[in-house]
Amino acid sequence: MGKPYSIDLRERVQADIENGQSRRAAARRYDVSASFAVKLADRVSLTGSAEPARQGRPPGGGKLAPYLTALIGWVDAEPDITMPELAAKLKTEKAVTAHPASLSRVLLKAGLSFKKNTAGLGGRARGRASGA
């Protein structure tokens, strides 16, 4: 992901535009793209600020967040359930389609992990065990 231009540069370009210089001329003067100057002027006219917009995904848990408690409950009730089985159960009971990998990521983020014991059998555990 790219880095936004500094506030100082943004304010200088915007000041030139407000003083009557064209957007493209201001862009040439400060060696930035014409597109940047045009978008900056539009942003200032809409928001009143030259601050860059927030980058990245918006905060939130995604489409599976409302079903997290149900997912954890199903895993607690049946610790050896597979991700495809969990996806099928989510589809039938909640009418939500989710890829098994997405379910795995959500459960890992919630603190669940799948650990095999010395007998080679799997079991779900919440969090990490403390100790030596």
pLDDT at position 8: 96
Q: Which domain holds residue 110?
A: 65-126
Q: What is the pTM (predicted TM-score) of this model?
A: 0.51
pLDDT tens digit string along 70-105? 999 999 999 888 999 999 999 999 999 999 999 999
Residue at 131 is within a domain: no
Alpha helices per DSSP H over 1-129: 7-18, 23-29, 34-47, 68-77, 83-94, 100-109
Q: Are 114 and 122 in contact (CB under 8 A)?
A: yes
Backbone angles phi, psi at 60, to 5 degrees: 150, 170
Can you tell me the mean pLDDT for 33-56?
Answer: 93
Could you count the other beta carbons within 10 Å of the beta carbon of residue 112? 18
Q: Are residues 36 and 70 in the same domain?
A: no
Residue at 2 is within a domain: no
Tokens describing residue 21? 């210089």
Q: Are residues 121 and 73 in the same domain?
A: yes
* 121 has pLDDT over 70: no
pLDDT tens digit string along 2-41? 899 999 999 999 999 999 999 999 999 999 999 999 999 9
- Residue 118 banded pLDDT, cuts 50, 70, 90: low
Tally of structural domains, the chain: 2
Q: Rounded to whole angstroms, how far apart are CA atoms 4 and 53?
A: 9
Q: Are residues 72 and 122 in the same domain?
A: yes
Residue at 26 is within a domain: yes
pLDDT, greater one: 23 or 1 = 23
Residue at 14 is within a domain: yes
pLDDT, greater one: 58 or 53 = 53
